[in-house]
Amino acid sequence: MSKMEDLKEYIDPKNWECLNAQKQHQLPNALFKDRDDEKKVLKSDSDAQLLIRITFGAFVKIKAIKITAPTDSGPSSIKLFVNPGSLEFEGAEEEEPTQEIKLEQDDLKKDAKPKTVKLVKFSKVSTLVIFVPENHDDADQTVIQGIQILGED
C-alpha cells in the first residue's frame, strides 16, 4: 500500500478523547460522519481551544492531515503530538509539538489540499494528539466540520 488513504478505518472508535468539546458537538462528528453532512460538527465549549486525542488500532504512517472548517471560526493552526504520554492543555501549550501547521482560511475549504507532515516523525504512530490553540476570527468557539488523516498502515 504505497498511496495515501484515509486512515479512519484504523482509528479505535472507543479510544478517543476531546477536551473542551460541547456535549452535542463531539469528535466523532468530525472524524466518522459523512463528510458532506455540514450539520454535524466538532465545536469547542468554554473557549476556542480543543485538545483531541486519537488512538489507532495499529501503528500507522501519517503523511498528511486535512481540516475542513468555516473560514471564520476554523483553526488558524494546529499542533500535532505523536505518541505523547498524558497531555493536558497546559502541556500542549508549553511543550514542543512534533509539528505545528499554520492553517490559512483557504486551507480549511473542502477542496483545499491536505497539509503534509514530516514523514520521518510520523512513521510509527499509535496515538495522535491535535491541539487547536485558536481560530481565525478570535471567535469564542472553534468549529471543525471534518478531520481527515491520510497515510498508510
Q: pLDDT per residue over 97-131, tens digit each? A: 999 999 999 999 999 999 999 999 999 999 999 99
Q: How many Å apart are CA 39 and CA 30, to the nearest integer?
A: 10
pLDDT band at 34 (very low <50, low <70, confident <90, very high): low
Q: Is 47 a residue whose pLDDT tops 70?
A: yes
pTM of the predicted model as reported, rounded to 2 decimal places: 0.94
User: What mean pLDDT, rounded, does the chain reach?
Assistant: 93
Q: Is 139 a residue whose pLDDT tops 60?
A: yes
Task: Enter the C-alpha cell of residue 122.
Answer: 510520523
> Residue by residue, what is the 3-state secondary structure of 10-29?
HEEEEEEEEECECCCCCCHH
Contact 93, 54 (CB under 8 A): no
Give me the mean pLDDT over the 4-8 stretch. Answer: 93
Strand 125-132 relative to strand 50-68: parallel, antiparallel, unpaired?
antiparallel
